[in-house]
Amino acid sequence: MGILQTEHDFTLPMGYVDEAGTLHRDGKMRLATAADEILPMKDPRVQNNPAYLTVILLSRVVTSLGSLKMVNPRIIEGLFAGDFAYLQEMYTRINQNGSNVIKTVCPKCEHKFDVEVQSLGE
């Protein structure tokens, strides 16, 4: 039995540009907890606009982005749409069935490697 990977590295396709003009692309996202999905429902911004749930959720599970000290809803709001969609897809992928990575071995050379598989019918 393998160790559960609870944090996953990512590189944003475009990157977040902060007030100083610094580009931040590399980050980490952790697996979501039940609290991550339940507590934002109490947030008035989510109650006023249910679409805001994703902003709050991502701000809770993205643990680092470049050299930023912290990731908050304002940072997530400032992402380019393509990067926001990228993080949404990653969130869904890692929280559905873990990372969907299968450890495998080449039958000829016995080299060990990971293969990422996609879910069908989603």
For residue 121, tell me if it sits in a domain. no
pTM confidence score: 0.76
For residue 65, tell me if it sits in a domain. yes
For residue 96, tell me if it sits in a domain. yes
Domain ranges, residue 97: 7-116
Which pairs with CB-CB distance under 8 Å and at least 24 residues apart come from 29-32? 29/61, 29/62, 29/63, 29/87, 29/90, 29/91, 29/94, 30/6, 30/61, 30/63, 31/6, 31/7, 31/61, 31/94, 31/95, 32/57, 32/60, 32/61, 32/91, 32/95
For residue 105, tell me if it sits in a domain. yes
**How many domains would you assign to the chain?**
1
For the stretch 1-31, pLDDT in tens is 567 789 999 999 999 999 999 999 999 999 9
For the stretch 69-113, pLDDT in tens is 999 999 999 999 999 999 999 999 999 865 556 667 788 888 776
For residue 122, tell me if it sits in a domain. no
For residue 2, tell me if it sits in a domain. no
For residue 79, tell me if it sits in a domain. yes
Token digits of residue 89: 């897809």
For residue 1, tell me if it sits in a domain. no
